[in-house]
Amino acid sequence: MWLSGNIERSILHLDLDTFFVSVERLKNSRLIGKPVIIGGMSDRSVVSSCSYEARKYGVNSAMPMKMARNLCPDAVVIRGDMEAYSRYSNIVTEIIAQRSPLYEKSSIDEHYIDITGMDRFYGCTKWSHELRRYIIKETGLPISAGLSINKTVSKIATGEAKPNGEIEVGKEIVLPFLDPLSISKIPMIGVKTYHVLRSMGIATIYTLRNIPAEMLEKLMGRNGIEIWKRANGIDSTPVISYSEQKSISTEHTFEKDTTDIAMLNQLLVSMVEKIAYDLRKHEKLTSCVTVKIRYSNFDTHTLQKRIPYTAFDHVLIDISKELFSRLYQRRMLIRLIGVRFSHLVRGVQQLDMFDDTPEKVSLYMAMDKLRKRFGKDAVRRAAGVMTTVEREEKARRQIENALKEQEMMEQRLRGYYIYGR
């Protein structure tokens, strides 16, 4: 069902319904209609995604797996296949890219499309409907859509259209549409903010938008103003072209060319940590890792690997080390080493690889909090930091090499003087 209304700015939001579960059901149709939980297999892991059937029992994302199993003992638990999820995500993105004037891939299963002005030529409502139907036909995946005047309202509309539906909210009906909804529907309201507002007796968006903006600013700072704007259907955030989602990289050129494998691996870990933190800080995920080396003769070689979307150090470090070991085969002196993450999308890290425990996720959050406060180098992995013994050993080798070079120079000079005589 599409709710009618005049729209000045036209933003379409598309969200694949229970995406991981839907992909698993494409692979195995016997899962259709059954409660399905995607996540780690151990009790200490967490739920990454779950079907609507499982949600009826109280299961939700990020819940400890043990609790989810207790709530829904008949659920089918699947470890998950991030490669398959990334592949289907890319198929949907390619379809959108072929048909859309301006689109943003905000996460592995969400897209925003700016179709402002299209109503003069074709009709935004008709175009949006046909695009959604085409995605369903080509992929077999259920997808919901919201069309409205900005990103916030269109995203909320998509949520109300689920499962597998579509809603248009025109300018004149934005406030009537938002007013009866729970404040939890506003995208930037998290668990803590929700509980703060509920403790003040604020339950609906109508109540929230009628509170003076100055009061919310005093309570929550700058975020209070943003929340007030979104409760009033105001959001000027632009759709950021997916083509503008470039890469993030770092390189290191050595003062003296080296073949020290241990040192190179330590440096690689440190480099990956720093740019992985940048990914998380800017709420981006990568699906392509490239490692580059330049030999002393200036020959440059690169090797890359496509991976499931991630921003976690431990995943990216392992991939980078693997690429480096495959790349560095000539055992020549290395002049430069570099790492690049590309094919970036906006989005907060999904619970990665379905193995992460709440403790691991909390550890990443704590480490990033320290980095944000004290700088990128405030917290580093032991693998990326040389111990005192390692530093002393490295210094000893450098001294030995310097003494050998000095001895060779002296021998050449003695030979020169003998020959000169």
Domains in the chain (CATH in brackets) are 8-124+135-148 (3.40.1170.60), 245-384 (3.30.1490.100)
pLDDT of residue 318: 93
d(C-alpha 255, C-alpha 398), whole Å: 13
Residue 107 pLDDT > 80: yes
Residue 419 pLDDT > 60: no
Contact 300, 292 (CB under 8 A): yes
- Higher pLDDT, residue 128 or 48: 128
- Higher pLDDT, residue 327 or 406: 327
Report helix angle 82-99 to 124-139, nearest 10. 140
Q: In the structure encoding, which two tokens stand for residue 61, read together?
A: 């994302």
Q: What is the pLDDT of residues 216-250, one digit of tens each?
A: 999 888 889 999 999 999 999 999 886 555 789 99
pLDDT of residue 374: 61
Query: Looking at this protein, which amino acid is placed at residue 273?
Result: E
Query: Looking at this protein, which amino acid is placed at residue 222?
Result: R
Q: Tell me, yes or no, if 110 is annotated catalytic.
A: yes
The least confident of 17-26, 27-36, 233-242, 398-407 is 398-407
Arithmetic mean of pLDDT over the chain: 84
pLDDT of residue 395: 61
Read off the pLDDT band of 341 (50, 70, 90): very high
Per-residue pLDDT averaged across 167-195, rounded? 93
pLDDT of residue 95: 96
Q: 127's torsion region: left (phi>0), alpha (psi -120 to 50) or beta? A: alpha
Selection from 409, 379, 362, 321 nearest residue 46 by Cα: 362
pLDDT of residue 287: 87
- Higher pLDDT, residue 223 or 361: 223
Residue 258 pLDDT > 80: yes
Per-residue pLDDT averaged across 158-183, rounded? 95
- Higher pLDDT, residue 296 or 4: 296
pTM over 0.85: no
Catalytic residue among 110, 168, 226, 273: 110
Read off the pLDDT band of 191 (50, 70, 90): confident
pLDDT of residue 381: 57
Q: In the structure encoding, which two tokens stand for residue 236, read together?
A: 């000027």
Read off the pLDDT band of 5 (50, 70, 90): very low
- Higher pLDDT, residue 31 or 255: 31
d(C-alpha 409, C-alpha 405), whole Å: 6
pLDDT of residue 80: 82
